[in-house]
Amino acid sequence: MKFRLNVVRRPGYLQVQVWGDNSVETIRKYVREVRLACVHHDCFAVLIEEDLQGPGLGLGEMYEVISEQSRDRSPWIRSIALVDVNPEHNPEDMKFAETAAMNRAMNFRVFPTVADAESWIRQEPARAARA
């Protein structure tokens, strides 16, 4: 359940790197820390580089975490770009997480690279202004 978080303020978003054990408890705790960082920096768009060790979560566990997060919207992170940098984790499972989050009105996208995630997260303020 140990994890380490590094938060860097970028123009328009926070870039968060997280390392630790891959577990539901770790994810719950690091998401809580990310929310606090958003409040501290008054920035609610986040790019997360996740490097959690151990087998990927099961689909049921992913669904559980996403459901919890979709109900807890204080403070709400408006845009989340996630890159799972652990090559042992199944990218298709992460796409399930993306779909489950989007079905709960969360602006959450999964990307294969940090460059792809950066491109998307930088465009989010313009998309929000048009909406």
Q: How is 76-128 classified by DSSP, letter by letter?
A: PP-EEEEEE--TTS-HHHHHHHHHHHHTTT--EEE-SSHHHHHHHHHHHHHHH
Q: Write phi, then psi, for 8 (nearest 5 degrees).
A: -125, 130
Instruction: Please report, rounded to a whole number, the percentage of residues in the chain having pLDDT higher than 70.
Output: 91
Per-residue model confidence (pLDDT) at position 73: 60
Which of 2-11, 75-84, 115-124 has the lowest average pLDDT?
A: 75-84
Assigned token pair, 70: 């979709």
User: Is the confidence at residue 92, as pLDDT, over 90?
Assistant: no
Q: Residue 75: which pLDDT band, with cuts at 50, 70 and 90?
A: low
Cβ atoms of 98 and 69 closer than 8 Å: no
First to last CA, the chain: 39
Q: What is the mean pLDDT of residues 13-39?
A: 93
CATH, domain 3-130, list 3.30.70.260, 2.60.120.260, 3.40.190.10, 3.30.750.24? 3.30.750.24
Per-residue model confidence (pLDDT) at position 66: 83
Cβ atoms of 82 and 117 closer than 8 Å: yes
Cβ atoms of 41 and 9 closer than 8 Å: yes
Mean pLDDT for the chain? 87
Task: Indicate the pTM of the whole model.
Answer: 0.87
Q: Residue 127: which pLDDT band, with cuts at 50, 70 and 90?
A: low
